[in-house]
Each structure stands twice: as C-alpha cells, then as structure tokens.
Structure 1
Amino acid sequence: MRYYIRKLAFYAVALWAALTLNFFIPRLMPGNPVDTLMARLAQRGGSVDPSVRRSYELLLGTRTQEPLVDQYLSYLVNLVRGDLGISVSVYPTPAAEVIRESLPWTIVLVGIATLLSFLIGVTLGMLVGWKRGTWLDSLVPATTVLAAVPYFWLALILVAVFGSALQWFPLLGGYDVILDPGWSPEFIGSAIYHGTLPALTIVISSVGGWLLGMRNMMVSTVDEDYVLTARAKGLRERRIMTHYAARNAVLPSVAGFAISLGFVVAGSIITEQVFSYPGIGGKLLQAVQNNDYALMQGIFLVITVAVLGANLVVDLLYGLIDPRTRTGA
C-alpha cells in the first residue's frame, strides 16, 4: 500500500508542476492574445480605445495589470471549474469546445495508427528475432530507414503518389464537406477514407521502432533456460515462440506502448498540417501562431493528463506484475 501511496503522491506533484509550467511558459512568449484581437479589430475599422482593451482582457483572462500571482491563482480556480477560457484563434469559441471538437479526430487517427504500428512491429519483430540470421533480418534496416525518414517528407510522397498521381485517396480534409458530421455510415466511411493516408504515414514511420525493440528482446530471450527446457520437452517451435519467448520478450514493448498511448492526444502536428486534418495538432499550431494562451494551455493540459495517466497506469501495473518494484529490490 505504501508503494501505491508514494506513486500517487509523486504524480500529484508532477501534475501540479506541469500545470504551473503550463501557465508560465506561454506568458514568456512575446506578445499576448489581447494585442492580437486589438490588431484584428483595428484592421476592420473598430474602436481600439482602452475600454475595449479592458473588456478583452476580462474576457480572455489575461489581465496584464494584475500581479502574476493573482493571475496564476485565478487560472487554477478556473481549471477546477472546467473553464479553460476563450480561444483567440477561433474567437469567441471557448477553448474547451475547440478541444472537444478536434480531440476525437486525433484520438481515432493517431490511436488506431499507433495500435496498428505496435501490432505489426511486434509481430514482425517476433518473427525476425526467432528466425535471426535468415532473410527476415533484412526487414530491420528497411524499417529503420523508414523510421528515420522525416514525417513531412513521407507524407508529401504519399500525397503525391496516392493522392495526386493515382487519385486513390483525397488530398485534404478529414471528411467530405458535403456530409453532416454524425454517426451515419456515409460520414464514418468518408472519415475512414480521408484518414487512410495520414494513418499510413504514422504507421510506416513508427513500425520500425517496435520491430527493432521486439527483435532485440527476442534474440535475448531465445537463449534463456526456460526456452531450452521447452525445447527439451519436445514442444512445437510455434508454441515455444509464442508462449515462452515472445510472451516474455514483449513486456518492455507493452510498457512502451502504454506510455505512447498517452502521447496519442498530442497528435501529429506535421502530418495533420500536410493533410489539413482537423486534429488537435493543427489547433495547437494555430494557437501558437496567434498567441492563444487559453487554447495552448488547454491542449497542454490534456496532453499532460494523458501522459501522466498512462505512466501512472504502467507503474501501478508493474507493481502488480513484479512484486520487486514495490519493495525496491
């Protein structure tokens, strides 16, 4: 029990530290969202007197005249209430609504792509590690090269080949704009169709890391005593590979997969930009470009909670699986 209390206390402190950094880092950037809105208003011929500026400051929660400590305390109180503020990028939409609309797109796209890359990479790594020294070893350098290819370059190639030249997939967007978003078969089919190329980009770029990690663990595992004992018993090679070698070799990959799920909500900014995909990554870039404190803080908050939550789950599961972690052995 003491182990779990320590872990929960650690992650509570980590969450507070992340929230504090989430407040201060955007404010170290030059400019502020009020200046952005005032500039837009001036371009449209609107009034830019001090009263208008004060109204924007109250609306956005960036009261620059107040001490930073007071702003920080107000920020924490608003977080407890679930109020993330008003987004400047898509003014006057609340930041929470912007995140709520874009987050499902990223979770579905990056989540499914991460799961596929994990399953494909671990399966191939199991086979390559079990059959080391054969032609399957050629998969390692091939996938490693693909993993080293920059995201944007690979995405542009897929767009040029499959989107522009062959016209198998659409070039931009997350769904057909003539359809109303919903759970209709037409909309779901359109979303899958538009998300195929972005997902393929993520899978191709990620599968090499999973393959290499699983392959190296398999090479170490096949020489263990329990594998030799299984062979001495006359068990089939396939059963030894899956139930003995792979079952133990996959543990580090499972831990890495659980942690990578925490980063799913961060999206893939470059991939989403290339494909104009309506995910959280594109909204984060838009928020940075517009000094949108509220949206930046909201997105960072979601990412922080997801990553810390995934790490906490992994730590707690390891405490159940391996008692030595609870005693510090």
Structure 2
Amino acid sequence: MRAFSRRALFYVLTAWAAITLNFLLPRLIPGDPVSRMLDRFRGQLGPEAVFALRALFGQTSNNIFAQYLQYWGRLLHGDLGVSFTSYPTPVATILGQGLPWTLGLIGVCTVLSFVIGTALGVVVGWRRGTWVDGFIPVTTFLTSIPYFWFALIVVYFFALQMHWFPLSGGYRPGLRPGWNGSFLTSVVEHAALPALAIVVSSIGYWLLGMRNMMVTTLAEDYVLLARAKGLSRGRIMTTYAARNALLPSLAGFALSLGFIVGGSIITEVVFNYPGIGYSLFQAVQGQDYPLMQGIFFVITMTVLAANLLADLAYVLLDPRTRVAV
C-alpha cells in the first residue's frame, strides 16, 4: 500500500509540474501574442475593448502569481481559453473536434501495430533459427525508414499513381458529418492509407523487441520445468513464455499510447488529416499559445494516464509486484 501511495504522489507532482511549465513557457517567450492579434484590428477597438480582449486571453495587469492562480481556476472548471487563430472559438471546442479523429486513426493503428507485432514476435521467438526469422530484416528495414519518407512514398504510389486511395483529408468534401453510411465509408477510405503507413512502419519495433524477450525467457528455469512436466507446446509458449516476455513490451506500449496525441503531427500533416496533430501544427504556425497550451495539457494527461495503466497492468500480469504494493 505504501508503494502505491508513493506512485500516486509521483503522478500528482508530475502533473502539477507539467501544468506549471505549460503556464510559464508562453509567458517566458519574448513578445506579446495578444498585441499581434490586436494589430489586425488597429484603430477599430477602443481601450475598453482592448482591455476586455486581454482579460479574455489571461493577459491582465495582475502579477504572474495572480495569473497562475487564475489559470488553475479556469483549468479546474474545464476552461482552456480561447484560440487566437480561430477566435472566438474556445480551445476545448477545437480539441473536441480533433481528438476523435486522432484517437480513431492513430489510437487504433497503435493498438493494431502492437498486437500484430507482438504476436509475430512470439512466433518468431518460439521458432527462432527457422525460416520465420526472415520477418526480422524486412520489418526492421521498414521501421528504419524515416516515417515522413515512407508516408510520402505510400502517397505517391497508392494515391497518385494507382488511385486506390484518396490523396488527403478525413472524408470526401461536400459530405455532411454524421452516423450515416456514405460518410462512414468515406472516413474509412481516407483513413486506410495513413493507417497502412503507420502499421507497416511500426510493426518491426514490436516484433524485434518481443522476439528478443522470448528468446531470453525460453531459457528460464520455469520454462524448462514446464517442458519437463510434458505440457503442450502451445501452453508453454503462451502461458509461460509469452506472458512473462510481454511485460517490457507492455511498458513501451503504454508510453506509445500516451504519445498518440503528440506523435500524430507528422501523420496528420503529410495526409492533411483533421486531428490534434494538424491542429498543433497550425497553432505553432499561427503562434496560437492558448491552443498549444491546451494540446500540451492533453498530451501530458494522456502520458500520465498511460503510465498509470501500465503500472496497474504490471500488477495484474506479474504476481511478484503485488508483494511490493
């Protein structure tokens, strides 16, 4: 119980430090983004309107400590501010529009890559030294290619040359978003190409890691004892070897889940996909600090939540950790 309390305290302190840093960074950058926005309305706004606009974006005359307390107050009420580039749209609205696209594409593809790569790694590790080892150089080569190169190659061949998939976007222009057949079919068609690029380029990482852990685990005494008992090969492979070899991969998988939001920027920029990564790219270009802060906040929370889930999964899969908790 004491170890669990220490972990919970660690996550709370980490969240506080990350949120505080998220508050300070835009205020330490030289320049005033609100002034740049007001330049577009020069001569059109009176002093009262300028003051109200600065207050709306948290740029009041209060000292930084007072601003910090106001920031926490708004954050606890779910208020992430108003976007500069999409004024007067709230940041929470933009995040609500982009998150389903990112989670639906990047999240599903991350899970698929982990499941397929780990399953192949179990088989390759179990049958090491046979023809199945040929999967390793092929998948390692695909993983070593810079992702944006691989994505551009996929776009060139399958979208521009063969016209098998749409070139970019999340759905066909002119369709009304909704739970109808034509829209959902268009969403799947537009997601197929980036999904293919993500899964193919990341399977090798999981396969190689799981294969090496399987080779190490198969030499353990409990696996040799299971063989001596005459247990079936399938049971030894899954229950004894794969279950224990999965633990390091599970930690990496939890981290990859946490970085789904932040790691989606390359995919969504290359394929012009309407998710959080593309919104972050636009926010950086437009110096939209409230939107950047909101996206960084979501990234921080997802990383911490993923690590917490990894700790809980360790407790469930490895009985030895329950003694420490």
* TM-score, shorter chain, exceeding 0.5: yes
Aligned to 2:219, what secondary structure does the other structure show?
coil
Aligned to 1:102, what secondary structure does the other structure show?
helix
Tell me how far apart the structure 1 counterparts of residues 220 and 129 of structure 2 sit (CA, whole Å): 18
Q: What is the one-letter code of the residue matched to 2:226?
A: A
Q: Mean alpha-carbon deviation: is it higher for 163-172 or for 315-324?
A: 315-324
Q: Is the 8 A contact 1:86 1:92 kept in 2?
A: yes
1:26 equivalent in structure 2: 26
1:241 equivalent in structure 2: 237
Q: Mean alpha-carbon deviation: is it higher for 242-251 or for 292-301?
A: 242-251
Q: Is the 8 A contact 2:83 2:291 kept in 1?
A: yes
Q: Is the 8 A contact 1:217 1:249 kept in 2?
A: yes
Shift in Å at residue 160 of structure 1? 0.3
**2:167 pairs with 1:171:** yes
Q: Mean alpha-carbon deviation: is it higher for 27-36 or for 244-253?
A: 27-36
1:47 to 20, 44, 49: 44
Tell me how far apart the structure 2 counterparts of residues 205 and 30 of structure 1 sit (CA, whole Å): 39
Distance of aligned partners of 1:57 and 1:213 in 2 relative to their CA distance in 1, 3 Å threshold: same
Shift in Å at residue 255 of structure 1? 2.6
Q: Mean alpha-carbon deviation: is it higher for 22-31 or for 204-213?
A: 22-31
1:129 to 103, 113, 125: 125
1:57 to 54, 70, 73: 54
Q: Is the 8 A contact 1:129 1:218 kept in 2?
A: yes
- Describe how 1:1-329 pairs up with structure 2 within 5 A: 1-42=1-42, 47=44, 50-63=47-60, 65-319=61-315, 321-322=317-318, 324-325=320-321
Q: What is the one-letter code of the residue matched to 2:198?
A: I
Aligned to 1:229, what secondary structure does the other structure show?
helix
TM-score (norm 2): 0.93
Q: What is the one-letter code of the residue matched to 1:182?
A: G
What do the CA deviations read for 1:152-207 (whole angstroms, capped 9, x no partner)?
11111111000000000001100112211111122111111101111112112211
Q: Percent identity?
A: 57
Q: Mean alpha-carbon deviation: is it higher for 165-174 or for 54-63?
A: 54-63
What do the CA deviations read for 1:60-116 (whole angstroms, capped 9, x no partner)?
2223x3322221111111101111111012111000000000011000101110011
Q: Is the 8 A contact 1:267 1:280 kept in 2?
A: no
Tell me how far apart the structure 2 counterparts of residues 235 and 322 of structure 1 sit (CA, whole Å): 21
- Count matched residues: 325
Tell me how far apart the structure 2 counterparts of residues 237 and 8 of structure 1 sit (CA, whole Å): 40
Distance of aligned partners of 1:324 and 1:229 in 2 relative to their CA distance in 1, 3 Å threshold: closer
Distance of aligned partners of 1:285 and 1:29 in 2 relative to their CA distance in 1, 3 Å threshold: farther
Aligned to 2:40, what secondary structure does the other structure show?
helix
Q: Is the 8 A contact 1:113 1:203 kept in 2?
A: yes
TM-score (norm 1): 0.92
Tell me how far apart the structure 1 counterparts of residues 296 and 230 of structure 2 sit (CA, whole Å): 54
Distance of aligned partners of 1:267 and 1:49 in 2 relative to their CA distance in 1, 3 Å threshold: same
Aligned to 2:177, what secondary structure does the other structure show?
coil
RMSD: 2.0
Q: What is the one-letter code of the residue matched to 1:217?
A: M
Shift in Å at residue 51 of structure 1? 4.7
Q: Is the 8 A contact 1:261 1:310 kept in 2?
A: yes
Q: What is the one-letter code of the residue matched to 2:33?
A: P
Q: Is the 8 A contact 1:36 1:290 kept in 2?
A: no
Q: What is the one-letter code of the residue matched to 2:18?
A: A
Q: Is the 8 A contact 1:36 1:291 kept in 2?
A: no
Shift in Å at residue 247 of structure 1? 2.1
Shift in Å at residue 20 of structure 1? 0.3
Tell me how far apart the structure 2 counterparts of residues 40 and 175 of structure 1 sit (CA, whole Å): 33
Structure 1: gaps spanning 5 or more residues: none
Q: Is the 8 A contact 1:172 1:275 kept in 2?
A: yes
